[in-house]
Amino acid sequence: MKLNRMQVLSNTEVQSIRDATTRILEETGVRIDSEKALSLMKDRGALVDMDQGTVRFPAGLQEKALSSAPKTIDMYSREGEPAFRLGDGNSFFASGHNAVFFEDPVEGTHRQFTLKDVENFAKVTHHLEDLDVLGLPASPAGVNSRTSLLYALKVCMENSTKPVFFSTDSEVINHFGMNMAEVFTGKTTGKNAYMISQLSPTSPLFWEKGAVEGTIECARRNFPVAILPEPIAGMTAPYSLAGLITVHNAEAISGVIITQLVNPGTPVIWSSSWTVFDMKKSAALVSSLETSLAKIGGAQVAKSYGLPLHTTAPNSDNHAHDEQNSWEKVFSTLCGAAAGSELIVNCGMYACGMAISLEQLVMDAEIVGQVKRLMKGIDCSTGMIAEDLIKQVKHRGTFIMEDHTLNLLHGDEFREPLVGVRGGRDLWVKEGKKDAVACARSVARELTEKAVPTVSRVISAGLERVIGTCQKGIR
């Protein structure tokens, strides 16, 4: 039996949040900073005030739009091979994206990313078996600043076959990012999804031009899009967890509705990045216990619509690789997965998502591997209960040489950790008294030197042409 789902809301409470969401979107609506989007919503039956820039969605229109949103999304590798299905009841994990700083383990510096850092990040992600998706870690320095994220996308695509998670607040960069994905997939991105585009409304209840027009283009191209509001409790959302979930849900559902009004059947993901505000420290927090509670409650709300669900983890607000970092990451990851989130993004990130290190990426993959094992639960089939074997071995016998033991030794009943200290002290001392961070740093170094499947010169040239076209268009 698999691990039971975590819940913090009753069915009645979930419905109360849904009912409040319906009324908010019908009576207050969202403000949209795009005449093109406003006109399109008006043509699709929404109630639009062009002067105020607001859009209200009648309850019937909401229901119709939500009914057309797909319940599952099939994802593919760079080569077009099936990777996984979002919505099949399992959790899949992605490396982090859009950090600001890179922690250099060699120089011991906290600095901007370079393209080489992005390449190493992609390689390590590719080789970590417990990570299913590659996120773009940052916009690197040393290249054209306007298309920096596209250069990061190119390097990631060239150094891993895993599906890609991409996010921007620019409709232009989003457009050319999708074009880069189509260098691999052709014009069938909806049926052969290799990349997910994440776009975010601005809390409370506001869509900036880049985000909404990017969302609309994703829908028109049938491109998988994750709608990720980022409200801050006490700042851009009520200072109650139920209020935080409600304003977040209204924003996420508004994005789902927009995609379905543009193109019914657009693959869309209800996404969450919960933040609460510490009034004493004047700090936004992504990994407090309250954000993990919101993860669970929000997942229940998203699941009630039958929508694929994405959240963020492993999260930590700490600036060091220490015990606080570990417990915050374990709580956020376990709560996200046990609540039923299908896509969980942020491996390798810490310091409230501002920084990334390769050793953190490896340690987070270890956390993910352990959480995946927990989620799998316990196999209680007849063979695993092993009643006949117990009777056969009898009193004071040993199971060490039994076929049952030897077969399981090479199976997945017991997970071997990627990093971690096991065994006696003498062995630990002999191996250099390495802690988990040092072990992870060694693993990361090895993985950066390990070969990855490359792409052809034709593909690389095609990616470069897309970036060049973008640069010409935004001068």
* Mean pLDDT per 10-residue segment, the chain (475 residues): 91 98 98 98 98 98 98 95 95 96 86 96 98 97 95 98 96 96 75 89 98 98 96 96 98 98 98 90 91 96 97 95 94 96 97 96 97 94 95 94 92 90 88 91 96 95 96 80
Torsion over CA: 408, 414, 419, 425 (sign):
negative
Give the tens place of pLDDT for each residue, 430-448.
888 889 999 999 999 999 9
pLDDT for res 423:
85
Give the tens place of pLDDT for each residue, 150-186.
999 999 999 999 999 999 999 999 999 999 999 998 7
CA distances from 114 to 56, 104, 105 (A): 44, 11, 14
Task: Determine contact, residues 279/232, Cβ cutoff 8 Å.
Answer: no
Q: How many CB atoms lie within 10 A of CB 105?
A: 16
CA distance 260 to 346: 27
pLDDT for res 274:
86
pLDDT for res 191:
59
CA distance 54 to 313: 33
Right CATH number for 67-376 from 3.40.630.30, 3.20.20.480, 3.40.50.300, 1.10.10.60? 3.20.20.480
Alpha helix stretches (DSSP H) within 73-147: 115-127
Q: Which of 287, 268, 267 is nearest to 276 (CA)?
A: 287
CA distance 155 to 239: 41
Q: Three-state DSSP class for 57? A: coil
pLDDT for res 475:
64
pLDDT for res 185:
84
DSSP, res 384: H
Give the tens place of pLDDT for each residue, 31-59.
999 999 999 999 999 999 999 999 999 99
Residues contacting residue 114 through CB under 8 Å, at least 6 positions apart: 102, 140, 141, 142
Angle between helical axes of 209-220 and 241-262 (0-180°, round to 10) = 50
Q: At 149, list the tokens.
A: 């994220």
pLDDT for res 44:
97
